[in-house]
Amino acid sequence: MLHKTNNRLLFLFLFIFVGSAFSKASTKIPPTDSPRLINIINFIRQTDYRLQDADSLLFDATEKQIQLMKKYNLVGTFLLQYDALINPDYQKLLKNELTPDFEIGAWWEITQPHVEAAGITWRGKHRWVSTANIAFTTGYTQEEREKLVDVYMAKFKQIFGRYPKSVGSWFIDSHTLLYMYEKYQIVASSNCKDQVGTDGYTLWGGYWNQAYYPSKLNAYMPAQTKESQIPVPIFRMLGSDPIYQYDMGVGTSGQGVITLEPVYRDGGMNKNWTTHFLKSIVDQPSLAFNYAQAGQENSFTWDEMKTGLEMQFPILDSLRNAGKIRVETLEQSGLWFKKMFDHTPATAVTALDDYRDQGNKSVWYNSRYYRANLYWEKQGFRFRDIHLFDEGLKSAYYDKPGTGGQFFYSTLPFIDGFFWSTQTERAGLRLVKNENGQQQELILKNPSVKESAKDKLLITCTDQFENTFTITLSEQNIDVGCQPKDKKLNWFLELKVPKERLDQLPFQAVENKSIDALFQDFAYKISFKKGYITKGNGNDYVFRLYPSQHTVAIDMHASL
């Protein structure tokens, strides 16, 4: 532990370092109609069978989190799992130590006392387990899900005198979420970041970071219409690295973690990473708003999270005092979202500075119709990811329980740079020029990213031959245009996939102006408003998108 003098020096260094880093990027405070929101969410378990002396260690972590937040006058949300909810020690701690500015809500992992209070048989080996079909409502019938909600809400109201307004989890199914809204008027929820196989939970292809209104049939799928959406915004947790998280574990069955969580040495424990991550949230284009979740589950214990939190909170405090972020509760963010947006807005996460100094850049775009990721490397550029959204795709767990230790949620792939890649070969949609029958990849560089309308992102780059490309991402369309230096330039967009991954492609038919696809028995179509398509044999390429008058225009409305 540092002496008090060294603590003061460390704080002074952090203040100067962070202020300098952010001032280099921009001295402009984000406009009030495009705020940068930070939720500090700490969720509370009573016990964890993986830890010796778990009950006391977990309580100590929560107690220390409260003390640190109060030291910096940072408000936040504490979410209680049922086993912690019924513990008098946690009740006393939260009632006595939290000011009215804090929020107390529900953490939706299912435990033995919760299940038994609802009259259901517990199937776990311990009072709490992480097994998907036991710890989450995806593993219970719709009737059981409602019983679990009713029991929790009644107990919460008995203790705190009201129902919770926020309910978070790694994942909450749509039936449960809608029931919570209709009967208990919750206003906000949260779920896990996109990940593959981490802890047995796969969430892939969803609205990246930020927040969305889910479909009534599928809580992972953004809805397109007001009639089909659950009017509870779901905020994506953990603060994923916009450049490197995606490719963690590419070519394998699972991912590593680079997030704002303070226990990860390459993420939220790393001062350099944290500063770059928050700079991308605060200072770079994001359209409607930008968002990150800070905080940590108490199962990691205070010794593990202490270093990261004590580094992060002074940074958040400085940004808050400078007017660059709003630190607020999950309920406050949910109420703001519902006031501002009738349906899921278009948003973006822009990361043009690489904390590893390797020259990589990433832009994420979301709307209620699709998400897309543009990725720059030193010697490459590609659309790394495009997934389409359709509220008609019903979750496999909507009306029947899942079985086994994992759950899987997906959207509709058009480009999937993770599942369609190997460790040595990356799938993606790339720009290529054809000159006298010879193909050469076009390498875009020095991207300029602008918000050209409330739902439109404009990215301008030049290639190695000084041709200028403009990529426009709007709510229902992706347009790629070129101003060629040489008017004879012959270019196209080409999808290549490693041979080992060709059997994973969803494409059923490639026509001149459209592609028909099938994923999890759900049919969808990608249409082209401008340009045309040629089909490859897979060994050379999957398809090519040729421009008309130097423009390719893709319709991202997925429905047939």
Question: Per-domain residue ranges for the chain?
Answer: 34-351, 369-394+411-555
Which tokens in the block code for residue 230? 């659950």
Beta-bridged to residue 366, according to DSSP, are 347, 371
List, for residues 66-122, the tens digit of each pLDDT value: 999 999 999 999 999 999 999 999 999 999 999 999 999 999 999 999 999 999 999
Q: What is the dihedral of CA 156, 158, 159, 160, to 10 degrees?
A: 70
* Residue 21, pLDDT score: 43
In order of 48, 107, 459, the CA distances from 56 in angstroms are: 11, 19, 52
| Residue 249 confidence (pLDDT) | 87
Kindly report which listed range (25-34, 352-361, 378-387) carries the lowest average pLDDT score.
25-34
Say if CB 215 and CB 222 are below 8 A apart: yes
Determine the pLDDT at residue 558.
64
Whole-number pLDDT of residue 2: 34
Measured distance CA(203)–CA(397) in Å, rounded? 14
Segment among 22-36, 240-254, 379-393, 418-432 with least mean pLDDT:
22-36
Per-residue confidence (pLDDT) for residue 26, from 0 to 100? 35
Tokens, residue 107: 């953490």
Please name which of 82, 127, 74, 63 lies closest in space to residue 102, comparing C-alpha atoms. 74
Instruction: Give residue-wise pLDDT tens across range 105-116.
Output: 999 999 999 999
Q: Are the C-beta atoms of 240 and 348 separated by less than 8 Å?
A: no
If DSSP codes are grouped into helix, strand and coil, which group holds residue 312? helix
- For the entire predicted model, the pTM comes to 0.91
* pLDDT, mean of residues 29-39: 76
* Mean pLDDT of all residues in 452-466: 94
Residue 1: pLDDT band (50, 70, 90) is: very low
Q: Which residue's structure tokens are 């930020």?
A: 210
Amino acid at 214: P
For residue range 161-207, list pLDDT tens digits in order.
999 999 999 999 999 999 999 999 999 999 999 998 887 888 999 99
pLDDT in tens, 140-159: 999 999 999 999 999 999 99
Mapping DSSP to helix (H, G, I), strand (E, B) and coil, where does residue 89 land? helix
Average pLDDT, the chain: 91
If one counts every other C-beta atom within 10 angstroms of the C-beta of residue 551, the result is: 15
- Helices 174-184 & 142-160, crossing angle to 10 degrees? 40
Burial 500-510 (b: 16+ CB within 10 A, else e): ebeeebbbeeb
Cβ atoms of 118 and 143 within 8 Å: the answer is no
Q: Which CATH class is domain 34-351?
A: alpha beta
The predicted model gives 439-464 an average pLDDT of 94
Task: Give the mean pLDDT of 242-268.
Answer: 90
**Residues 147, 194, 124, 304: what is their CA dihedral angle, to the nearest 10 degrees?**
-120
| Beta carbons of 431 and 512 less than 8 angstroms apart | no
How many angstroms separate the CA atoms of 147 and 51, rounded?
Answer: 30
Under the banding of pLDDT at 50, 70 and 90, the label for residue 5 is very low
3-state secondary structure of 309: helix
Q: How confident is the model at residue 559, as a pLDDT?
A: 61
Reading phi first (left if > 0) and then psi (alpha if -120 to 50, else beta), residue 73 is in left
Q: Grade residue 4 by pLDDT with cuts at 50, 70 and 90.
A: very low
**pLDDT tens digits for 315-346?**
999 999 999 999 999 999 999 999 999 999 99
pLDDT digits (tens, 9 = 90+) for 384-418: 999 999 999 999 999 999 888 888 999 999 999 99
CA dihedral over 170, 176, 179, 180, signed as positive or negative: negative
Q: What number of CA atoms fall less than 13 Å from residue 490's CA on the CB side?
A: 8
For residues 5 and 220, the model is more confident at 220
Is 276:259 a contact under the CB 8 Å cutoff? no
pLDDT for res 406: 84
